[in-house]
């Protein structure tokens, strides 16, 4: 059933990876679709590697993009340090994450006869929560929030995550104070 949300373009990139690198763990929306928790088209791939291919320059270098514009990043996902870079393969964007600390939990799933490593859903859900809390892009936050709503995360937990978001004005913020003062309103 979940395969209907994975395009032939995405499958061809997975085939390319699997023929060259069998240690990849697929995560993000692709992983959630493969685990049956998300039912929407997969637009890009997110993968976790066990080896720092970015540091060695051995990972599909001809497809590497956005390095000069600062797309390559180091950041935290929960308590794990991650190095990230982006590839574009046949119109499919691939975000590659090299996890410097804890290795992801995964299970083996079958996609068109390929047995692939797919991140366990709990890790993907934790990552999406972290993105909502720390991301500075409203578009990204809304995308991850929609996914968590669709997955069926408890509404009280969602409210807590939104309240922790860096983009939500806090009580001591000037914007929050300005929005809460209604004395000057003309009605």
What are 66-125's pLDDT values in tens digits? 443 334 556 555 555 666 777 888 889 888 887 766 677 899 999 999 999 999 988 888
* 62 inside domain: yes
Q: How far is CA 1 from CA 11, 36, 91, 102, 111, in A?
A: 15, 8, 24, 31, 11
Cα distance from N-terminal residue to C-terminal residue, the chain:
54
The answer to whether 132 and 113 have CB atoms below 8 angstroms apart is no
* 128 inside domain: no
* 151 inside domain: no
Inform me whether the pLDDT recorded for 25 exceeds 90. Answer: yes
Inform me whether the pLDDT recorded for 7 exceeds 60. Answer: yes
* 11 inside domain: yes
Domain that holds residue 46: 2-119
* 30 inside domain: yes
Number of domains the chain contains: 1
What pLDDT does 117 receive? 95
* 87 inside domain: yes
Give the list of residues 6+ apart from residue 177 with CB closer than 8 angstroms, or none. 171
Residue 27: give its domain's CATH number. Answer: 3.30.460
The answer to whether 130 and 28 have CB atoms below 8 angstroms apart is no
Mean pLDDT, range 128-139, rounded to an integer: 79
* 143 inside domain: no
What pLDDT does 86 receive? 79
Mean pLDDT, range 50-78, rounded to an integer: 53
* 132 inside domain: no
Which pTM value belongs to this model? 0.73
């Amino acid at each position: 059933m979940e395969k209907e949300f994975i395009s032939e373009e995405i499958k061809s990139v997975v085939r390319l990876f699997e023929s060259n690198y069998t240690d990849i763990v697929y995560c993000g929306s692709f992983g959630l679709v493969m685990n049956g928790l998300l039912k929407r088209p997969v637009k890009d791939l997110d993968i976790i590697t066990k080896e720092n291919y970015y540091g060695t320059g051995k990972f599909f270098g001809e497809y590497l993009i956005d390095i000069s514009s600062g797309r390559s990043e180091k950041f935290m996902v929960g308590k794990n340090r991650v190095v990230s870079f982006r590839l574009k393969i046949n119109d499919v964007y691939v975000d590659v994450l090299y996890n410097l600390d804890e290795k992801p939990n995964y299970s083996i799933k079958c996609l068109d006869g390929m047995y692939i490593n797919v991140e366990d859903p709990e890790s993907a859900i934790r990552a999406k929560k972290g993105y909502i809390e720390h991301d500075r892009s409203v578009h990204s936050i809304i995308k991850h929030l929609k996914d968590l709503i669709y997955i069926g995360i408890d509404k009280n937990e969602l409210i807590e995550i939104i309240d922790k978001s860096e983009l939500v004005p806090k009580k001591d913020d000037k914007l929050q104070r300005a929005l809460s003062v209604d004395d000057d309103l003309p009605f």
